[in-house]
Structure 1
Amino acid sequence: MKQNEILELEQRLSFNFFWNEVSQTDEGYGLILDNTLEKSVSSIASVGFGLSAIPIAVERGWISKNDGYQRALKTLETFRDRVEQKNGFFIHFVNMKDGKRAWKSEISVIDTALFLMGALTVGEYFGGSVYSTFEDIYARVDFPWYIDIKKNQYYMGYTYERGFFGNWDGYAEQLIMYILGVASPTHSIDPSVYYSFERKIGRYKDYELIYTYTGSLFTYQFSHAWIDFKEIADKDGVNWFENSVKATLANWEFCKDMHDHYKTLHEKSWGLTACDSPQGYRGDFGAPPSANNNTQHKTDGTVPPCGAIGSIIFTPEIVEDTAKYYFDNVPELWGEYGFKDAYNLDKSWVSKMYIGIDKGIEILMIENYKTGMIWDIVMKNKYVQKGLDLIGFKKAER
């Protein structure tokens, strides 16, 4: 199978995850599984990616426009009326049947933002009642409530038991949180919050960049699934797209360098990021440079396909070769919804699960690489344009 055919099939089967693994109950309609091994729990971030995939499926002819419209509208109505929230921020993990808190999950600013980007995407695409329902949900979010006024930063999280904890004090996947926050029509934050997190610079081989704590590739990917940063820079001259290109290449180089230590890591098997592993879910897999000071001991050699495929907009030729390698050489990695979450040759292990956010970043990034569709939809939105303008993004100088 040719490279483009593999990516097309991966995108199609990944969409099936979001279309099939969904709640149909009256109270929880539209909630999507966090992962296929935990059938009772939804991740609101998974829903955000799933909503964003609907326009792709409509334009590709995988579903009808009416079916997509109905799924989008009813899902947003569930979030407006039923999913547990506080001051407009949603619980990260909720029960599939009724949208109530699962475990002792946090009220999450980043996962609320990921959901909101999905709601914004379908709202902008379908218009009408879908858009107005998105606006109802967005207007309810009290962004200043989540700000640590002493540090002028978002708190990291909030639980009923603990209250607020931590801070978004460094760069990671959170850029959408500032765009949404400053553009809010009802409860906005000051644009200075965007400039309050630290931009630490590090280097791996030839690549100098603003790095994230873990160096996990998802931290350089998620906001880019919706926001086209290619041609814009902030008031400090930072172009986040170019930064992610460097981070992706550094990750690729690190994996090549680690081949002597781990059989799974090499030129065509790379992309260290948060994923399932032989020890369970790991959020700390990554590559240097990072605040976590990653060395060979910060990975166990586990590779998730979403690490590379989610970076296809940054290093397309390398990623195309990698996807073909997985398809041709690791057949046990392929299943009902395309590539499973991860594999590890040293441990003779292949994940049995599919994870929503990992499938989602693949769908959106493949589409942006092929057609730019998600970027085209989102970048037209008045709130996105307002947020970028207020923060001070301008066309980047070359």
Structure 2
Amino acid sequence: MKKFALTGISALVIISCTTTSSTTQNFTQNTTVKSNISDEQLMDKVQKDALKYFWDYAEPNSMLGRERYHEDNIYPDNDKHVITTGGSGFGLATILVGVERGFVPRKDAIKRLNKMMDFLAKADRHKGVWSHWINGETGETVPFGKKDNGGDLVETAFLTSGILMVREYFKNGNAEEKALAKKCDELWKGVQWNWYTKGGEKVLYWHWSPDYQWEMNFPLQGYNECLITYILAASSPTYSIDAETYYKGWTRNGTYLSDKTKYGLPMYVKHNGAEEYGGPLFWSHYSYIGLDPTNLSDKLIKNYFDLNKNQVLIDYKYCVENPKQWKGYGENYWGLTASYTRNKDGRVGYNAHFPQNDHGIITPTAALSSFPYTPKESMDFLKFMYTQKPEFMGSAGLYDATSIHYDNWTTPRYLAIDQGTIAPMIENYRTGFLWKLFMNAPEIQQGLKKLSFKSEKYNIK
């Protein structure tokens, strides 16, 4: 499923991806955990549950992350072998968390990661950029849309972020681990970021197709989930962009700044198409799996952590205020982001939920992946869901979308892009593990300096 970097509210309403009926049947007969479970044990459990998606339910040939996993075994267009590029990047980060915490054996992870990198090396690439969807059996591009049949720079950025973290984790290991790191390095260096400036324009473009060229015409301009794309493009040792492209393109010559507040909280930037409350919460997650926002600044933003924290808190306060009076919304049940949804006719669709596009659907990844910003509020949500809502649980943890309002509606399905941010962001809250890997990569340090980013934590001045 695509998480669009949108320019208007109308574009944020994603069309339905399936037409099957919703269900509350629990296929794994999960039960609630004991209410006296410790916070640490509970975080372990939710991280292990999220890991299952990428470890147990991976696409069997490539071993990368499937676009979706449905316990009801109902799939659109027989897409069981469709892998998602961005979600696979989050999956790489999730597997690293699993290794670091001892959830999966290191040797097994290395074997699997090697297979993934070998597959990616042979898969279709478009000027070094992978497509949004790839056939996990053949490595061929699976069109996301008629003209979206080529390179997807944003999805590639999410994938590349994971590849870099794998490289950093294993680069000083034994011979096998160093060989894996070398494969990662070669994949990273093959991405032609600067091609996606459409001949040198001072902005990056999302798509390029060998058949339709630049007809998708989607410039990456803030603010949304795409910051990491510019960071990686500036950091590339082979195909980099300059600082002018970042400030003219991403920041819109600085015009993306905002002096608006909500619930007394400064918003700092204009969220594309969602300027009143801010956009879906994945905007505070995707770029920050590896990019540590803690006291991170550039020429325009004084502290990216505050920017993200305030977006999450505004979403939280909106749900607590609950102006539409949805049953269940409150301090223990909150979080709006893109996910599966319940359409008006009761069937399953897909929508980018946020306060201005609120349909009574709470998506667990929203609160769970916000742990670094709102640890208390996220823990309250986690405890409530795991101890009191077994009907929302499946084999890989909480299902993708839920609604107490609609008689405890859920759908027994998972999406890679939603599952994939949970374990990494919780780990960043617990130890900063992935942040340290990514931020200490030599090229990332140089790229951030090129763009005038500063972080005392990582000696970036």
Tell me the CA shift for residue 362 of structure 1.
0.6
Report deviation, 1:43.
0.4
Paired position in structure 2 for 1:142: 192
Does the CA-based 8 Å contact 2:132-2:144 persist in structure 1? no
2:239 corresponding residue in structure 1: 187
Partner residue of 2:28?
none
Distance 1:80 1:109 in 2: 17
Tell me by how many angstroms 1:47 deviates.
1.2
Which residue of structure 2 lines up, in the alignment, with residue 118 of structure 1?
162
- Superposition pairs of residues 1-398 of structure 1, within 5 angstroms: 1-25=37-61, 29-37=62-70, 38=75, 39-81=80-122, 83-105=123-145, 106=148, 107-127=151-171, 128-148=178-198, 152-164=202-214, 165-196=217-248, 197=250, 198=252, 199-201=256-258, 202-209=260-267, 210-213=269-272, 214=274, 215-258=279-322, 260-279=324-343, 280-287=348-355, 294=356, 298-348=357-407, 349-395=409-455
- SS in structure 2 of the partner of residue 154 of structure 1: coil
Q: Distance in 2 between matches of 1:354 and 1:100?
A: 24
* Alpha-carbon contact 1:264-1:303 (below 8 Å) kept: no
SS of the equivalent of 1:277 reads strand
Give 3-state SS (helix, strand or coil) of 2:308's partner: helix
Q: CA deviation at 1:178?
A: 1.3
Counterpart Cα distance in 1 of 2:212 and 2:88: 26
How many Å separate the matches in 2 of 1:270 and 1:363?
19
Residue identity opposite 2:297 in structure 1:
A
Moved more, 54-63 or 98-107: 98-107
Distance change >3 Å, CA 12–CA 259, structure 1 → 2 = farther
* Contact residue 140 and residue 186 of structure 1 kept, 8 A: yes
Q: Describe the SS at the equivalent of 2:208.
A: strand
Q: Is the 8 A contact 1:123 1:131 kept in 2?
A: yes
Cα 1:257/1:74, change in 2 over 3 Å: same
The answer to whether the 8 Å contact 1:275/1:304 transfers is yes
Q: Which amino acid letter does the alignment assign opposite residue 371 of structure 2?
A: I
How high is the TM-score relative to the length of structure 1? 0.91
- Please report how far the alpha carbon of residue 161 of structure 1 lies from its aligned counterpart in structure 2 after TM superposition: 4.9
Contact map agreement 2:189 2:238 (CA 8 A) in 1 = yes
CA distance in 1, matches of 2:144, 2:393: 33
Instruction: State the alpha-carbon separation in 1 of the partners of residues 388 and 96 from structure 2.
Output: 32
CA contact (8 A) 1:208 1:246 kept: yes
Retained in 2: the 8 A contact 1:233–1:396? no
For residues 146 and 253 of structure 1, the distance between their equivalents in structure 2, rounded to whole angstroms, comes to 38
Secondary structure of 2:350's match? coil
Distance 1:124 1:395, change over 3 A: closer
Q: Deviation at 1:343?
A: 0.5
* CA 1:150–1:345: 2 relative to 1, 3 Å: same
- Contact 1:274 1:281 survives alignment (8 Å): no
Partner Cα distance (2:323, 2:222) in 1: 30
Residue by residue over 1:176-222, the C-alpha shift from the partner in whole angstroms, topping out at 9 and shown as x without a partner, is 11121111111111122221233242322211211422410001211
Further displaced range: 196-205 or 233-242: 196-205
Which letter maps to 1:317?
A: K
- Structure 1 residue 32: Cα displacement: 1.7
Match of 2:23 in 1: none
**Mean CA deviation greater in 142-151 or 339-348:** 142-151
C-alpha spacing 1:190/1:108, structure 2 compared with 1 (3 Å): same
Structure 1 residues 248 and 76: alpha-carbon distance in aligned structure 2, compared to 1, 3 A threshold: same
Distance 2:144 2:402 in 1: 29
CA distance in 2, matches of 1:89, 1:150: 17
Residues 104 and 304 from structure 1, CA distance in 2 versus in 1: closer, same or farther, beyond 3 angstroms? Answer: closer
The Cα shift of 1:310 comes to 0.8
| Equivalent residues of 1:35, 1:353 under 8 A apart | yes
Measured in 2, the distance between the counterparts of 1:55 and 1:150 equals 36
Letter in 2 for 1:102: V
Offset at residue 236 of structure 1 (A): 2.4
CA contact (8 A) 2:193 2:240 kept: yes
Alpha-carbon spacing, 1:339–1:267, altered in 2? closer, same or farther (3 Å): same
Is the 1:268–1:322 contact (alpha carbons within 8 Å) kept by the matching residues of 2? Answer: yes
Q: Decide which structure has greater helix share.
A: 1
- Tell me, in whole angstroms, the C-alpha distance in 1 between the residues paired with 2:206 and 2:99: 36
SS in 2 for 1:155: coil
What is the alpha-carbon root mean square deviation over aligned residues? 1.9
Counterparts of 1:150 and 1:91, CA distance in 2: 22
Q: Which runs of 4+ in 1 moved over 4 A?
A: 148-151
Distance in 2 (CA, whole Å) between partners of 1:42 and 1:137 is 18
Where structure 1 has 5 or more consecutive residues not aligned to the other structure, the ranges are 288-293
Displacement, 1:6? 2.2
Mean CA deviation greater in 148-157 or 2-11: 148-157
